[in-house]
Structure 1
Amino acid sequence: MLGLAAALTLTPTSAALASAALTGPTTEVAGESHAPHHTTDAPRAVPQDTGSVETQLKKVRAATVRYQDVRLAEADGYTLGESCIPGLGYHFVRQVAESQDELEITEPNSMLYVPQEDGSLKLAGVGYVSKREAALFGEELSPPSILPYYTLHAWVWEENPNGVFEHINPNISCPGKGTGIPAPEGA
């Protein structure tokens, strides 16, 4: 969660510099358009009938496949957070939603990337962040703890053995930091 806080205060210049150091080789997705995704600051209505959870997750994967290339996420306004967090990876964050009305499953607020051995980043999941209580996929966003935001992760690109919507993914490790839940401060 600390990476999310850093991403919300990181300048575009420092984010670009940090990203350049982290990304290394990237994977292009064949047939994908490289035009920036159009976003708006106006609130969007959340569809009431979005189908089964599996159908919704398929929509999320279809909407985020282009972000397998982290450069496209950056071009669309996602900004790199501070450092890799074991169990979460790197957060690339866009604007935090004010409320449920601004959340849309196909436009996540954050992208979660995991470092690869060759130094590149692989898209592992997406995140939704709101300043107020909200729910997506039939799941309540987790209440604020470290950050003053409600959050929900969806591990749509990397399996989480604990569940698609579990906050921590034990399969995610960071260089020099191991895997699993970060150690408590002072430990």
Structure 2
Amino acid sequence: MKRTRTGLLSMVAAAALAMGLAPGTALAHGGSGHGGSDHSDDWRNNDDQRRLVNVLRHVTDEYRWLENAKADGYEEITKCIEDRGVGAMGFHYAKNDLIDDKTQARKPEVLVYMPNKYGRYKLVAVEFISTAAHQPSIAGVKFETGPFEGSWALHAWIWRDNPSGMFAAYNPDLRCPK
């Protein structure tokens, strides 16, 4: 079934609201949110994961500044997401045309931003969202339960170090702005 761009944005927004999401609250993507056993902190020693990170950095380089992502059709779907004691994910911007049952390294569905010390939003991570019938994986990393029913999600902290691991959902070094 083909979903419209507006329909998917509405679905993601409705799922976020149904989960009690408001600015500064956490979005549960299932799992521990800390990366789990399949999310190796040692991604540099895994050829597939290292290649994935390099590809993601290459294809998102132009999106490191939020205005470029918006100009290319990415739209805000959440305010900053934080789980006290665990860390933050950031502000999520999605390109709804990409949300489907496929996972393509060169086309991340969601870009995750945090403001720098000057208040400019900078790309810190990407998030893959899939509506696949079965739990997908990319570069050997399994997705966790996603933000809306029937979805799967996986973060990759390609532009910001994450002590919890490259593929953890939350970054303990980040806090949402007040």
Q: Same fold (TM over 0.5)?
A: yes
Higher-strand-fraction structure: 2
Task: Detail structure 1 runs of 4+ shifted over 4 Å in the superposition.
Answer: none
Larger radius of gyration: 1
Equivalent residue number for residue 107 of structure 1 = 107
Equivalent residue number for residue 116 of structure 1 = 116
Structure 1: 5+ residue stretches without partners: 1-6, 11-50, 177-187
Structure 2: 5+ residue stretches without partners: 1-7, 12-46, 83-87
After TM superposition, the structure 1 = structure 2 runs for residues 1-187 of structure 1, keeping only pairs within 5 Å, are 8-9=9-10, 52-86=48-82, 87-95=88-96, 97-99=99-101, 102-132=102-132, 133-144=135-146, 146-148=147-149, 149-176=151-178
Give, in whole Å, the separation in 2 of the partners of 1:98 and 1:151: 12
Q: How many residues align?
A: 127
Deviations 1:69-89 (A, max 9, x none): 211111211101231112101
Give, in whole Å, the separation in 2 of the partners of 1:60 and 1:83: 23
**What root-mean-square deviation, in Å, do the aligned CA atoms of Structure 1 and Structure 2 show?**
1.8
Deviations 1:111-139 (A, max 9, x none): 01011232210110101001123111211
Give the residue type in structure 1 aligned to 2:111. M
TM-score by length of 1: 0.63
TM-score by length of 2: 0.66
What SS is found at the alignment partner of 1:158? coil
What SS is found at the alignment partner of 1:74? helix
What is the identity percentage for the equivalent residue pairs of Structure 1 and Structure 2? 28
